[in-house]
Amino acid sequence: MSYGDNKRNQMDKAFGPLSVMGFGTASALGIATAVVVDLLQAREASALYMMNRWLLEVTGMMGVEALPLSAVMGILMAIGAGSIFVTEPISMRGAYVQGFGALAVLMTMAPSDLGAPLQAPDYGPSMQSNPSLREQFEPASLTQFRSTKVAAQEVGSYDLRIQVEFSNGLEGSLQEMLRRKKLVGKLYNKSTGIKYDLFRNSGAEMDYDDGTLRIVTSMDASAQKAELWLLIEAEGYRITEERFIASVGPNPIWNVQMQTSRQPLIVQRLRHAYRF
């Protein structure tokens, strides 16, 4: 059975190789359009990030270098191009629309993972009063908080102090950047596989002033040490991903320096490999 036999009565001419290639290209472009729309609309809630994680797990077992989000887009476009042999569209418009719709079906197979909210810091019962956020970033703060935690034998959490430096500051207020989805942060515990949204707050302390973002939070411990990863995306800056080894109890300040970039975030995201 050749291409278009099921719909030969709808069109009185044969479908040659060029027609088939055109339909495949139109379907692939339909998927590409849907991918860009989804990234712009859903932002970090896009299921494409989950698909990227699945792809990296598979390619990692094969020893293949990390593939960026654009690789997921390429695979989806290839699926769209091949789908014409099942749906058999008879016009470029039909192929484009079917490709666009096919992505919606594929997206339902990969649910989005926004991440859990950050927890409130655990100061321990021996702390008479909670210190201010700024005090916790003073040089002597680590020794002070570590002594109180050890005395209270609190060994159930990783106590984190994260300091992110934006050399040129943010383009707007912190609330405005978050509302417009121009500032995104993820914290990932590789030991447990749990992802946290840096700006979904469940008691964590946060402050932004003069180009510096400070966050104080605690994370439930599963072992004496854990490998943590931090991902920060901000308009006007390069996407930054950093590793940190956390120990049970208070940890040194986790300093992150953001580097400026003229590339739009949408372009950077397509070039980045999302492991979490």
Closest C-alpha among 158, 117, 150 to residue 252: 158
Residue 30: pLDDT above 50? yes
Residue 150: pLDDT above 60? no
Residue where the block lists tokens 């002594």: 147
- pLDDT at position 5: 57
- pLDDT at position 10: 45
- Residue 276: exposure state from Cβ atoms within 10 A (0-12, 13-18, ≥19): buried
What b-and-e string marks burial along 41-68, b requiring 16 or more CB atoms within 10 Å of the CB?
eebbebbbbbbbbebbeeeeeeeeeebb
- pLDDT at position 112: 67
Instruction: Count Cα atoms within 13 angstroms, Cβ side, for 112.
Output: 10
Per-residue pLDDT band for 233 (boundaries 50, 70, 90) equals very high
pLDDT tens per residue across span 117-131: 888 886 665 444 556
Helices (H), 62-191: 69-82, 84-87, 92-107, 141-151, 174-179
Domains of the chain, each with CATH number or no CATH: 5-107 (no CATH), 116-271 (2.60.40.3070)
Q: What is the pTM of this model?
A: 0.76
